[in-house]
Structure 1
Amino acid sequence: MRRLKKILKIIIPVLGLLFLAFCMFIYSLTPEYEGEKDLKNLSNQVDVYYDNYGIPHIYGATEKDAIRALGYVHAQDRLWQMELLRRIGPGELSEIFGKDLVETDKLFLSLGIDDYSKETVANLDPNSDYVKLAEAYLDGVNQFQEEGPTPVEFYLTGVDKRPFTLKDIHNTIGYMAFSFAMAHKTDPLLSTIKSKLGSAYLKDLSITTEPSSTLIENYDPLKDTLQLNLASKLASTFKNLPIPLFEGSNSWVLSPQKTKNKAVILANDPHIGFSQPTVWYEAHLSTPTYKKYGYHLAGVPFPLLAHNRQLAYGLTMFENDDVDFYYEETNPKDTTQYKTENGWRKYNYKHKIIKVKGEDDVKFTVKSTRHGAVLNGIATSVTEEKPVAISWIFTQVENKLLSALYGMSHSESMGTFKRHLRDLHAPGLNIMYGDAEGNVAWWATAKLYKMSDSTNTKLILNGTNGIQERGEFLDFSENPHAENPPWEFVYSANNQPDTINGRFFPGYYLPENRAKRIEQLLRPKNDWDKASVSKMITDVTSAVDPTIVTNMAKNIDISKLDINAIKLLDQLTNWDGSATVNSVESSLYQRWVFYMLKNTLKDELGEELFNQLLTTHFHKRLIAPMVSNSSSIWWDNVTTTKVETSDDIFQLSLTDALLSLKNQFGENTEAWTWGKIHTLEHEHPIGKVKTLRKYFNVGPFPVNGTKEVINNMGFTYSEDSIYKVTSGPSTRRVIDFSDIENSISILPTGQSGSPFSSHYNDQAQMYLNGEFRKMMMNKEEIIATKKSLLVFKPHARVE
């Protein structure tokens, strides 16, 4: 016993010291939000006031000083996120996460983002203002990386730090551009369906570009006119990404005639895959020559969303088609050549190396045609003999994106702002605009091109004869747009734009659900204010789903249902389409739709193609048209001798849905609430490790909303009993020019990416509740209410 006591006397203090050391280590990793720091190359002191949510309000004598400080504070909150984003384009994720990411790295290397970034940087003018500011931002990032505490993720993964460069900025922008593109999921899938089933089966899938009731109306006051393996492999490639994809968005801008206080109001909520940390980093910069409250991507110096006292802008995804696939033909007599309309041409070859954690380097060769990289051999399951090349506009046009973002953020009028938009060649964006002068506008920014009318760009094209090549690019003035239209508002919900000069532009537009609801709410009301707009941006009611229910329910044989099922069906047919956490109707509706899709499509497509279809935008477009089309070729189950009708499928699918919910929740139908099925968890890449999940992930939470309502909480249909939300509003912003200092926003979790920061998840519950916080711009208020002050002083020079 005495010996044990002696041992304990030694062990307990040692354990105490180890625990104290651990606590000190954890504390050392926390971002520093107060105190004084020397910052290299600073000309004057910069004051950074942090508000109660960790938003930095940066005041400097010059813009270079302020943006250098931005780089430092951005890095101390988001360095790990910066590291991941810059690694995607050059194919460097396997170096962190191992062999599971090799095919993802191969694809991104083949796309040529890194080569394109190198070329872009080599051609930059080092004396241009935007380059100098970008380098100042990088100086701040790199000084933090050299001197600040290393984020815990670097320790857990063993990643070595290296300086950030201009190429890294362009690689991050390149990843953003490709993550918007939907063709990589859609074109190979549709080509496979056509090849496997025939053209008749494409007819009812709503893939064509044609008029709908919610076209985004153009208005120009000057004119006054209104293959299975490939598909599945590309899908799985992006599934492994530790960074979210950009997916959709809502925005509307109201003219003074539509608002209570006779000033413009802009609302915007870009829809992006949920992650932890959240995508956007908020920062307010103020100098004598530049003042902006902006939302930044990790590692990008200029904001993509921003406002000041003069103007505000936001974005949604245009969803235009800027990626095409081409079948090529190799010369049987010389495999180094491929066929063109002008004869045989040499393939281009580039040798690449991927570093893989814990494994030998992977060496491979990218073979390219005039269209782009040949994917055979890149995605290992692409086994077709015929080469398939991917053609992406992003890498085929001079890159002026960083200059454009700089120009947009430095504009002080609608005219100067618009001039910079023509340089946003990809990804396709709807830029939403409003200002203190009462102007409202939207512009579709992209390099749009002419194509022969007989060419369907949603299928893999013939690359050998020159007939299906892209034609000339249109001038930016011909892009869809509306400036101060007579209907007094502009909006976008990724729905299809109206024609320009009689031509519809091919794209991967979302169904009219959100657009219809936005119009339904906006048109009759002319006294909008900040409170009513903020309520609208969290709206969870579908303008389309009740009609879908009516079409599916009208011929249901209730004699085949028990009394509880009849009551539920009656509830559902009287449902207003609202998806709240307590809604039983939402649970039954979504389960019914899933089984309708499964029982309609899976017999023809098979398991793999059906699951792939559910990851695309166009499966959402086909639901409403299909349930109203009783003559669709898809209704018959090809595996049975009977010829099924739509009513047969609706009846079977309702039975399947009811049984599924009963098995999940029991007989008590009141327990079948949406919040038990529909949950949101903000996943950190490290949180995929089960033992670390609770320390890095935020959630899960039951969450209001559903796919294709204004509060768009997207999920993928599956046999799983829980629908895990994967994408939704990455921020909600309401900018009111009648009270600009009290404009409001929210982030899904928090401002900081450090798990040890108090701002890691301090907005998560507010976000779920549909609440907002102020985006402060008044310096006196910021100082009076600050949580802390971080002062950057010019780096002391040693004589």
Structure 2
Amino acid sequence: MPPNTTATSGDKPGKSGRKKGRKARLIVLVLVLAVIGGIAFGAYWSISTVRASFPQTKGSITLQGLSGPVTVKRDGNGIPQIYASTDADLFMAQGYVQAQDRFYEMDVRRHMTAGRLSEMFGKGQVKNDEFLRTLGWDRVAKEEYDTKLSDSTKKYLQAYSKGVNAYLAGKDGKDISLEYAALGFSNDYKPGQWSPVDSVSWLKAMAWDLRGNMQDEIDRALMTSRLGPQQIKDLYPAYPYSRNKAIVQEGQYDELTRTFQQSGSTSGSGTSTGTGSSSASTSTGSALTSQLAGLYNVLDDVPTAVGVNGQGIGSNSWVVGGQYTISGKPLLANDPHLSASLPSVWYQMGLHCTTVSSKCQYDVTGYTFAGMPGVIIGHNADIAWGMTNSGVDVTDLYLEKLSGDGYLYNGKTKPFTTREETIKVAGGASKKIVVRQTADGMPLLSDRDDELVQVGKKASVNTAAPDRGDGYGIALRWTALDPGTTMDAVFALDKASDWSEFRDAAAKFDVPSQNLVYADTKNHIGYTLPGKIPVRSSADDGSIPAPGWDSKYKWTGYIKQDELPYEFDPKSGYIVTANQAVVDDKYPYTLTTDWGYGTRSQRITDLIESKIKDGGKISTDDMRQMQLDNSSEIAKLLVPKLLKINLDDKDVREAQKLLEGWDYTQDSDSAAAAYFNAVWRNILKLAFGNKLPKELRVKGQCLWVDKIDSTGPVDDDTKVRECGERDADQAQPDGGDRWFEVVRNLMEKPDSDWWKTPASGTRPKADTMDELFRRALIDARWELTAKLGKDIDTWSWGRLHRLFLKNQTLGTDGPSVLKYVLNRGPWKLSGGEATVNATGWNAAGGYGVVWVPSMRMVVNLDDLDKSKWINLTGASGHAFNAHYTDQTGKWAAGELLPWSFSDKAVGKSTSDTLVLKP
């Protein structure tokens, strides 16, 4: 409400007061009419549209194409368990049921993977479509479907598509979801038929977000414009093998047989392979810098599929053998860390054959993606498996020397292969683009930015680079641009019954490369690293872009499956994967130069070892509690030092005292956690922010977020810019566990130039580590005063660290009323960056939650019905459906739901039953 502008009681208003009073009443009237209009609008949606698109979950429906009846049982959270008599019927029903709950999400996803978002959302998506067409995910998926996948996989994909299309038959957009009805106000778009390639293409989008170190490759090259080799080495320290264990502790590579063997031990310490010897950054000068700086803008706009556009991706998964569990059988936990989306990227369900036989082979439950048949992560009657991103380097950028209509390679000009793409635009004219690729299939990414091309042409280079021709471009080599067999792997994993079958299935999971952990009902545990992982020449380790005109920088092949690390029934009795190094540095191949630094993995290892020491045993709930661990490892390192800093200002000293006696736990109600994370953010800003090349600044580093004191999602005009007073031309670290390691190492050099920062206003300069820490304590105090108020008793980490769930299309770029209808939040969260409970935040952009444990599960191999699971949101993609976000509150509180598997348990938990009849 506006402030009261009329006179107070007892005062006689003058002429001016009467005018103000009338103006105030007019504002109130307008607001009242707006509220009434909003209520009417909401009533229209709820009555005419919203409920009309809700799925039928009871009774029966006739589906053409089924060979027999299929039963769909949903529990109280709307999670479906499907029962059928044939594989084809099972996957057809899966397609139908997922379309009931999530077709709009599926439709947006397939338009993204095909570079056709403009068909739905208009000209604002043309640039994204141009880039996605250049990558050509759908073209690769079609080739994969036509030439690589098995006949049975194709049959399942066809059955799934038939189910989706059976759902769509006879429906208008408004019958499918609220979003289509909203789009109908400005767009005559109508959803088309689903195809098997639509499902396969999603694997390419997933692989893009989990692509590994491409961002680090760009960053390192850009750093050479301002930093020397030692400074860059400071910012990319060696992996701490002696402190944070690699995944595989028992086993070694056998040079004689060229296989990885389960014998001996490779647990020693060593140093990283470093940042390599590729000479691209020294041989291309400003040409490379200008091309990569422009590529930042292109990459930052590409829609995310499951992650934060290649950054901030993590996950936890671990397995504990029966010798250390209360039940005597293994326990397996998994929580992939992905971007927070609404609906959640995951879809929970069970796929059950009424009788498992050659005619119907599946009895599996877990998490999949809406739009894909099968189960990606979960368990069947015999085994369970989890996944974390391996982080292996499967992408390389090449600077290409352009000459006429071709590119230079080994002293000769080779022609590009080209294709023309037509982008249709809702409400506008179509646009044609030409995609150029090298002979080995590398698309020229720089063609998608006109300014990039011109800058590249004008850029000067030093004498080490070719001096003829027209300019430079950036090309991408990526394993996912070759057709593969990952879809075959999904179905093979779903029906594997033992370690041997699991390993064979995993070998087909070529892109994206994942860490797979395993457990079975016969009391075995294991780990395997599958994936199509390139072998590079000795001239290149993939750490920085390479010169494309020199053949010695090209890939020489792929690591054979038998050579990849694995572990089975290790003596330790447990296996932990959390994006740390897979194996020690004695392994002969460079898997990547950019592992996660092991902060989370070592904390999980420590939690397991503390639990099992002196004969202790681990329960299902113990595994859940480990997933919720909020301990800050960087706080343990820094707080003792911060408490020794002398402060004159009593207000800053008051804040510093919050850290006294703090247990380093980042609970949502902790004032100490709020202050420490503000100090940490300011340490990073002061030490590195004014020293990094400005080209490293990306739009994601300054975020428009809801004001701290708001109670829910709000309009853009009530948002604040979460990069504070930072110079717009100043890059800033994101604060991940690489920066933990950077600061840890620099603390041994308290007089390093990194600790120097100039004075700012009344804030003092710093020349040493202690002086910079003092400045950070001061700056953090006044930053939080501005955000949370002067009274530190009102501070809490959760007020800063909040999760907003936003519908990924109209909830982020639609009318305000639709944002209000579609979006949910906020939730005040515990946890933090590089914490086991990894509610990640980007220190360059504020404290808001950016990525999350997108689901959590704990599988009990002794009694599968005692397993537990939770999703970030809910089963439904329909706003106002009871299952839109019905799991989020429990997820935020760290709770898990019962996970029924057996016929008996599913029967007891069933709330709604639907029969699909042929």
TM-score, L = length of structure 2: 0.80
Contact 1:368–1:389 under 8 Å retained in 2: no
Contact 1:232–1:609 under 8 Å retained in 2: no
Instruction: Quote the RMSD (CA, aligned, Å).
Output: 2.7
Structure 1 segment 145-544 matched on structure 2, within 5 A: 145-147=168-170, 149-157=175-183, 158=187, 159-206=189-236, 211-214=241-244, 215-220=246-251, 222-226=262-266, 227=289, 230-231=292-293, 233-234=295-296, 237-239=299-301, 241=303, 243-245=305-307, 247-287=313-353, 288-289=355-356, 290-331=362-403, 335-341=404-410, 343-369=412-438, 370=440, 372-382=442-452, 383-385=455-457, 386-499=471-584, 501-526=587-612, 527-544=617-634
- Structure 1 residues 207-216 or 664-673, which shifts more? 207-216
Compared with structure 1, are the counterparts of its residues 407 and 785 closer, same or farther at alpha carbon in structure 2 (3 Å cutoff)?
closer
Compared with structure 1, are the counterparts of its residues 568 and 313 closer, same or farther at alpha carbon in structure 2 (3 Å cutoff)?
same
Residue identity opposite 1:174 in structure 2: K
Give how far 1:504 is off.
Answer: 4.8
Aligned-partner SS, 2:425: coil
Give 1:7's aligned residue. Answer: none
TM-score, L = length of structure 1: 0.91
Give how far 1:173 is off.
Answer: 0.8
* CA offset digits 1:200-219 (Å, max 9, x no partner): 32111125556352222343
Compared with structure 1, are the counterparts of its residues 90 and 21 closer, same or farther at alpha carbon in structure 2 (3 Å cutoff)?
closer
Residue identity opposite 1:117 in structure 2: A
Give the paired residue count: 772
* CA offset digits 1:520-558 (Å, max 9, x no partner): 10123230011111111111112342113334554x233
Choose which of 763, 766, 771 in structure 1 pairs with 2:895.
771
Give 2:875's aligned residue. Answer: 751
Compared with structure 1, are the counterparts of its residues 273 and 701 closer, same or farther at alpha carbon in structure 2 (3 Å cutoff)?
same
Compared with structure 1, are the counterparts of its residues 140 and 614 closer, same or farther at alpha carbon in structure 2 (3 Å cutoff)?
farther
* CA offset digits 1:220-247 (Å, max 9, x no partner): 4643343366346436644562644262
Residue identity opposite 1:765 in structure 2: G
Give 2:274's aligned residue. Answer: none
Aligned-partner SS, 1:278: coil
Give 2:906's aligned residue. Answer: 782
In the alignment, structure 1 residue 137 sits paired with structure 2 residue 160? yes
Aligned-partner SS, 1:330: strand
Q: Percent identity?
A: 24
Compared with structure 1, are the counterparts of its residues 464 and 225 closer, same or farther at alpha carbon in structure 2 (3 Å cutoff)?
same
* CA offset digits 1:655-707 (Å, max 9, x no partner): 11111112222321121211110100111022223222232112111111111
Contact 1:681–1:699 under 8 Å retained in 2: yes
Residue identity opposite 2:178 in structure 1: V
Residue identity opposite 1:304 in structure 2: I
Give 1:52's aligned residue. Answer: 76
Choose which of 805, 810, 815 in structure 2 pairs with 1:682.
805
In the alignment, structure 1 residue 557 sits paired with structure 2 residue 646? yes
Give how far 1:388 is off.
Answer: 3.5
Give 2:692's aligned residue. Answer: 605
Contact 1:374–1:388 under 8 Å retained in 2: yes
Choose which of 113, 120, 123 in structure 2 pairs with 1:96.
120
Residue identity opposite 1:378 in structure 2: R
- Structure 1 residues 157-166 or 432-441, which shifts more? 157-166
Choose which of 79, 103, 106 in structure 2 pairs with 1:82.
106
* CA offset digits 1:487-546 (Å, max 9, x no partner): 010111111122363555214322322112101101232300111111111111123421
Taking the aligned partners of 2:777 and 2:582, their CA distance within structure 1 comes to 35
Contact 2:374–2:490 under 8 Å retained in 1: yes
* CA offset digits 1:410-442 (Å, max 9, x no partner): 211110110122222221210111111111111
Give how far 1:298 is off.
Answer: 1.6
List alignment gaps of at least 5 residues for structure 1.
1-11, 795-799
Taking the aligned partners of 2:330 and 2:437, their CA distance within structure 1 comes to 49
Compared with structure 1, are the counterparts of its residues 259 and 19 closer, same or farther at alpha carbon in structure 2 (3 Å cutoff)?
closer
Contact 1:682–1:698 under 8 Å retained in 2: yes
Structure 1 segment 18-33 matched on structure 2, within 5 A: 23-33=47-57
Residue identity opposite 2:334 in structure 1: N
Give how far 1:97 is off.
Answer: 2.7
In the alignment, structure 1 residue 578 sits paired with structure 2 residue 665? yes
Give how far 1:470 is off.
Answer: 1.9
* CA offset digits 1:96-149 (Å, max 9, x no partner): 2333322222222212212211222222567x2221111111111111112453
Choose which of 18, 28, 35 in structure 1 pairs with 2:59.
35
Aligned-partner SS, 1:168: helix
Taking the aligned partners of 1:17 and 1:643, their CA distance within structure 2 comes to 57
Give 1:714's aligned residue. Answer: 840
Structure 1 segment 613-628 matched on structure 2, within 5 A: 614=733, 618-619=738-739, 622-628=742-748
Taking the aligned partners of 2:219 and 2:684, their CA distance within structure 1 comes to 16
- Structure 1 residues 51-60 or 200-209, which shifts more? 200-209
Residue identity opposite 2:198 in structure 1: D
Residue identity opposite 1:630 in structure 2: P
Taking the aligned partners of 1:428 and 1:700, their CA distance within structure 2 comes to 34
Residue identity opposite 1:647 in structure 2: D
Taking the aligned partners of 1:147 and 1:699, their CA distance within structure 2 comes to 35
Taking the aligned partners of 1:260 and 1:156, their CA distance within structure 2 comes to 53
Give 2:782's aligned residue. Answer: 659
Contact 2:149–2:485 under 8 Å retained in 1: no
Taking the aligned partners of 1:541 and 1:232, their CA distance within structure 2 comes to 38
List alignment gaps of at least 5 residues for structure 2.
1-35, 252-260, 267-288, 357-361, 458-470, 702-730
Taking the aligned partners of 1:412 and 1:637, their CA distance within structure 2 comes to 60
Contact 2:405–2:415 under 8 Å retained in 1: yes
Residue identity opposite 1:344 in structure 2: T
Contact 1:277–1:752 under 8 Å retained in 2: yes
Contact 1:177–1:426 under 8 Å retained in 2: yes
Residue identity opposite 2:350 in structure 1: H
Give how far 1:24 is off.
Answer: 4.6
Contact 2:578–2:600 under 8 Å retained in 1: yes
Aligned-partner SS, 2:767: coil
Compared with structure 1, are the counterparts of its residues 232 and 580 closer, same or farther at alpha carbon in structure 2 (3 Å cutoff)?
farther
Residue identity opposite 2:529 in structure 1: A
* CA offset digits 1:432-459 (Å, max 9, x no partner): 1111111111112222233344534221
Aligned-partner SS, 1:366: strand
Residue identity opposite 1:195 in structure 2: S
